[in-house]
Structure 1
Amino acid sequence: MTLARALIKMEKYEAALIAMNTCPVAPNPEPEAIRILPTTKPWIPRKNRSLQDEVSQSPSEDSILERLKGSRLRGALKQAYDVLVELVAATGWDDLLKLRSRIFLMEEEYRAQRTDRRPSDVSEMEQIPLDDHPPPKTGKRLCERWLDQLFMVLFDDMRVYTIYRGEVQHFRGENMPYQRTAREWLILGTLCRRLAHFEEAKEAYRQCVETAFCEEAWQALLEMYTDEGRLAHALTAVTKLLLHQAGHYQTAIYPNVVGRQIFKMIRMHGVERIRTTMMTLNMGAQVDALLQKYLEMVAAQKCLGHDY
């Protein structure tokens, strides 16, 4: 996928698609069916029950959002999806489809051509893997099935995103509040972020955390604020997450999302600026004590940024 990204930057979009098609990408593995014996659910007291995060587990009223397959992509498939998003941003969806049809022979076209050539062997042909047959001499390459399916996943994401933004604009035009559940805001924020619409993603995540506390949404905001260099906003997200972790007896400093982002902020800005911003925000004694553990670890490990 690195080659494909480089070709996109060079505006060689056709070569980028061909490079993607040659990547050895395996489908997402199916989760193993493990039989879990019934047990009594343990009760763990929490220091602050109002911080309990149930947004990620609560069902959404919008079944379309729950069925989006893009959120379940992992590994190489997720990387390939991100490359397709870059291609869409560079060429537009319609031009990307034209480019795909110009250089690739899709599976349905391939089967149709073989059916026309050998009508008596259709039943036998369908039982033979496509890889056992070279593509017809049309000057096109056979599009890998995973890449074809990835186009469909991206199309579904873009369709839902377009509907969502249209609804937002409509409600704003009518001066009416656009209401969603916290779970739906979380899914929409993840969808926007997946499609590289980062401002819309932050808007949805903020709506989510304003509706109910959601650790996943705060983590996403923390990562985006850190990447943007918005130190005060990032430390505000750190405050929410540290208090949540303390309320759930989560005492690990590293590795976790908060630790990685704090160390990243220190590399970008230096520990002294972190301390100054903490004093400006007046985060409270409890948060200062929790954050001090991370700063002490940075000093002990002599990480980049610990001395300035």
Structure 2
Amino acid sequence: MGDTLRDVPELFETALGESLVARTDQIPQFRLGPPDLCHLVKNNAKTAKDVTSYHYVSGVEASSAGSLAAYINTLTYSMDDSANKGGWFSAPAPFRIKSGVYCCYNAFAMLDVRVEVRIPGGVNVYAVNRAGKRVAIGQDASPAFWAELFVSSVLRATLADANPDLYPAGPAGLRRLDPLPDLNVEGRFLDAVKDVFPRAWQLGADPDVQVPTLTSNVLVYALVRYFGYESGRWDVLIRLWRDLLHMDPSLAALLAQAYMNADLDGKAVKLLYQTLQVHPNCTPVLLAQIDLLQKKGKQDLALTLAKRLVNTAPLEFKAWEKLTQCYTQQGDWPMALLALNSCPMFANSSRELPVMPEPLRVHFPDFADPNGLYSDNDTHALTPLRAEGLRGTFRKAYALLADMVDHAGWEDLLAHRANVFVMEDEYRQVKEEELMPNAAGKSDGASDGDDVPLVVAATGKPASAPSSAPVVPAAADEAALAEPSVDPVANTEPTAASEEPAEDDENADPEALPPSWRARARAIGGSKLLTAFSHKRLCERWLDDLFLMLYEDLRVYTAWKAEEAHAREYQLAYKRTCAEWEYLGDLARRLGKKADARNAYRQCTVMRFSPKASLRLLALLTEPDAVDDDVPIPTPVGPDGTPVEDTVPTTPGDATSRVIGETLRHVARLLSIPGHNVAILHKVYGDRVYPNPLASAMFKLINRYGLARVQAEVMARKFPTPIFKRMSVTLEYAEKFRVRGWDA
């Protein structure tokens, strides 16, 4: 139609400026903020008709108003003029960009900065506050304000696809650009980070923390992910944390973590020792110390520190998570269950996706699949498993529980659970005895109106009284759990006896109870009521729900593996639909069965390309244990249905060659099958080199085997031209930014 942009997605408005009005109404709900919004007004000189459109964009440098205005100016050269090439007489009048507004949210100042550009004309810069009113921004705006805007913009670009469980990673019509395209921009960004770091807690906490701190916030989470775990550039983080260490002693934990991930354990030990000598109860430093001990296999020392940590920070989920991990590694299942039951739980905030009116029409670059062969699988028609919807600390707690089952077994863990927590049959039995009429209880001082508790806890208080904070399992608890006074309950149905937690000390003395309670206990069977719950706690309802979810997942997983074994035994073909393979892959990944998850995702992507399944498979293929998969790799097929063979056969050789060849073969199959998948992934990740899952997978191979080795393996394989160019650009990026392993 001549009113669209080449290679830029657009959503056309029904009413002029409705997207700007909708964004203004949602500003009070912003935290870090949604992607930047670019609103354009196009005019046809012949018909005097105005057309308005908008698109989202991430990665534009927001260090000044000039850089944002320059982005709108570059769009004037992207107008689609294909309609004007049909002939001189038949060519319609072209559309031209008349004006544009670029909206970028400053998460520190909580202002939506808007740069209005008129072509030809000038540039007007202003902001909109949470009340929807304009705030003037003059030419003399402080450098700190633009530093805040620059950091906010880069954080949104790097965290857009941070959660692999969410697909798609952004709203429709999102254009992704490299947030830090060169080393000069990266240097300016790091300088801006140093300026705004004391106020980083204002951005909110990372997904595992409820209250943001100087060491646990969105800025730290994004920096560690971008420079550390995704690319291995720990040297950049080491220099940054060194420069910021003077602000607070707790930043030594971030520096020690960077040392450990860079294989500089000696420096980490020295730094942690010096910091703990001065600040022995610094929570982040204790967490880093526990990580170091677990890395070295010192589980007994890690457990000692974990107990100290939960006493120092009883309301932190990470503290109880570490304690649960330590007990799990030592095989102390009762104490692991008690520690998990004491975890403070909360759900992380949802994504900040903008809510816009329905567009009049949309325009996307011509990467659509006309045959519909590579669309996502619809797994909603299958029986839903509730565990897939877990988020935040609940998903972490589910992983801890699944790890316990993997080590101890389902039956044994249920037996330990029956010894630790009050079960439904026990509660029902005591309830029935309590309801039996007994006049002796009333004659001993308990009146008809007394609110006598049904379950007496160890401290002499009713079990329905909520505890103010989680309680650390003490040494007395370990001794009590080692020799329980009651046998395991036969019925181990995972149902909580009450929603409220019990008090902690189980060593109850009947004579220390109030007279009315002691009389009631004698009336309904002596010390039977007290003995039944003397060494047990009440299970939290959320943990009860996790047991039920885990049971549902294990039931489906066991049935799946039994069917596969039956098919192998009788040499039958085991067939599933694409949606079912993706469904089973999600299940296996959730249970920690990575080999089964990879096999299921392989089967899914061979039958029909699914972006979600392919991206999750790519993340699993770069795990260190991927080369140990003892499963047949299916032969992939191309868009025309013909099989696509590997161009480099697997040959026996030294262990390193075998590992590199096997890993790259998986990555090559994913990138090569089908041949159009890079075009489809372009709709999700655009032309951005990094961060995206494709670059992260290549960087992990470079970190492990070196850039030269990976380059040689890529050159040895005859990839299609678009895929080869994409991989070559990623390798050049790794060399330019000196990703770990670039010189090996």
TM bracket (short chain): 0.7 to 0.9
User: What letter corresponds to residue 88 of structure 1 in structure 2?
Assistant: V
Query: In the TM superposition, what is the alpha-carbon distance from 1:59 to its structure 2 partner?
Result: 4.4
Give yes or no for contact 1:225–1:233 (8 Å, CA) kept in 2: yes
Asked if residue 178 in structure 1 is aligned to residue 558 in structure 2, the reply is: no
What residue is the counterpart of 2:331 in the other structure?
11
Asked if residue 131 in structure 1 is aligned to residue 564 in structure 2, the reply is: no
Aligned residue among 175, 196, 199 for 2:592: 196
Deviates more, 1:220-229 or 1:109-118: 109-118
Deviates more, 1:70-79 or 1:224-233: 224-233
Superposed counterparts of 1:184-263, under 5 Å: 184-227=580-623, 228=626, 230-240=663-673, 244-247=677-680, 248-249=682-683, 250-263=686-699
What residue is the counterpart of 2:389 in the other structure?
72
Write out per-residue CA displacement over residues 39-73 of structure 1, whole angstroms, 9 at most, x where no aligned residue.
Answer: 445252533615864224x2455x32xx1012112
Distance 1:19-1:132 versus aligned 2 partners, 3 A rule: closer
Query: In the TM superposition, what is the alpha-carbon distance from 1:94 to its structure 2 partner?
Result: 0.4
Deviates more, 1:276-285 or 1:165-174: 165-174
Give yes or no for contact 2:578–2:604 (8 Å, CA) kept in 1: yes
Deviates more, 1:223-232 or 1:288-297: 223-232
TM-score normalized by structure 1?
0.83
Give yes or no for contact 1:88–1:96 (8 Å, CA) kept in 2: yes
Write out per-residue CA displacement over residues 207-263 of structure 1, whole angstroms, 9 at most, x where no aligned residue.
Answer: 101110012222222222211352332343245599524344521222222222221
Aligned residue among 51, 73, 85 for 2:402: 85
Task: State the distance in 2 between where 1:156 and 1:168 align.
Answer: 19
SS across alignment from 1:178: coil
Task: State the distance in 1 between where 2:424 and 2:700 align.
Answer: 45
Higher RCO (Cα < 8 Å, 6 or more apart): 1
Write out per-residue CA displacement over residues 120-173 of structure 1, whole angstroms, 9 at most, x where no aligned residue.
Answer: 979xx9x99743875875211111111111010000000011112222233344
Give yes or no for contact 2:711–2:731 (8 Å, CA) kept in 1: no
Distance 1:281-1:291 versus aligned 2 partners, 3 A rule: same
SS across alignment from 1:105: coil
Aligned residue among 54, 58, 62 for 2:375: 54
SS across alignment from 1:131: coil
Task: State the distance in 1 between where 2:698 and 2:500 align.
Answer: 48
How many residue pairs get aligned? The number is: 301
Query: In the TM superposition, what is the alpha-carbon distance from 1:17 to its structure 2 partner?
Result: 1.4
What residue is the counterpart of 1:280 in the other structure?
716
Task: State the distance in 2 between where 1:108 and 1:70 align.
Answer: 26
Query: In the TM superposition, what is the alpha-carbon distance from 1:199 to its structure 2 partner?
Result: 2.5
Aligned residue among 350, 362, 367 for 1:42: 362
User: What letter corresponds to residue 244 of structure 1 in structure 2?
Assistant: N
Give yes or no for contact 1:105–1:141 (8 Å, CA) kept in 2: yes
Distance 1:144-1:133 versus aligned 2 partners, 3 A rule: closer
Superposed counterparts of 1:71-150, under 5 Å: 71-106=388-423, 113=430, 117=434, 130-131=499-500, 134=503, 137-150=533-546
User: What letter corresponds to residue 202 of structure 1 in structure 2?
Assistant: R
Query: In the TM superposition, what is the alpha-carbon distance from 1:175 to its structure 2 partner?
Result: 3.8
Following TM superposition, the consecutive aligned residue runs of length 4 or more in structure 1 with deviations greater than 6 angstroms are: 28-32, 118-122
- Identity score, percent: 31
State the structure with more CA Rg. 2
What is the Cα-based RMSD across aligned positions, in Å? Answer: 3.4
SS across alignment from 2:362: coil
Task: State the distance in 2 between where 1:95 and 1:3 align.
Answer: 20
SS across alignment from 1:259: helix
SS across alignment from 1:303: coil
User: What letter corresponds to residue 665 of structure 2 in structure 1?
Assistant: A
What residue is the counterpart of 1:268 in the other structure?
704
Write out per-residue CA displacement over residues 187-206 of structure 1, whole angstroms, 9 at most, x where no aligned residue.
Answer: 11111222222332222111
Query: In the TM superposition, what is the alpha-carbon distance from 1:269 to its structure 2 partner?
Result: 1.0
TM-score normalized by structure 2?
0.37
User: What letter corresponds to residue 728 of structure 2 in structure 1?
Assistant: Q
Task: State the distance in 2 between where 1:36 and 1:117 align.
Answer: 59
SS across alignment from 2:597: helix
SS across alignment from 1:253: coil
What residue is the counterpart of 2:474 in the other structure?
none
SS across alignment from 2:366: coil
Give yes or no for contact 2:375–2:611 (8 Å, CA) kept in 1: no
Asked if residue 296 in structure 1 is aligned to residue 740 in structure 2, the reply is: no
User: What letter corresponds to residue 305 of structure 1 in structure 2?
Assistant: G
Give yes or no for contact 2:347–2:394 (8 Å, CA) kept in 1: yes
SS across alignment from 2:622: helix
User: What letter corresponds to residue 185 of structure 1 in structure 2?
Assistant: W
Deviates more, 1:232-241 or 1:139-148: 232-241
Bigger strand share: 2
> Please, which runs of 5 or more residues in structure 2 have no aligned partner?
1-320, 437-448, 453-461, 467-498, 505-529, 627-658
Write out per-residue CA displacement over residues 87-132 of structure 1, whole angstroms, 9 at most, x where no aligned residue.
Answer: 111111000000011011257855875675479979xx9x997438
What residue is the counterpart of 1:25 in the other structure?
345
Give yes or no for contact 1:55–1:214 (8 Å, CA) kept in 2: yes
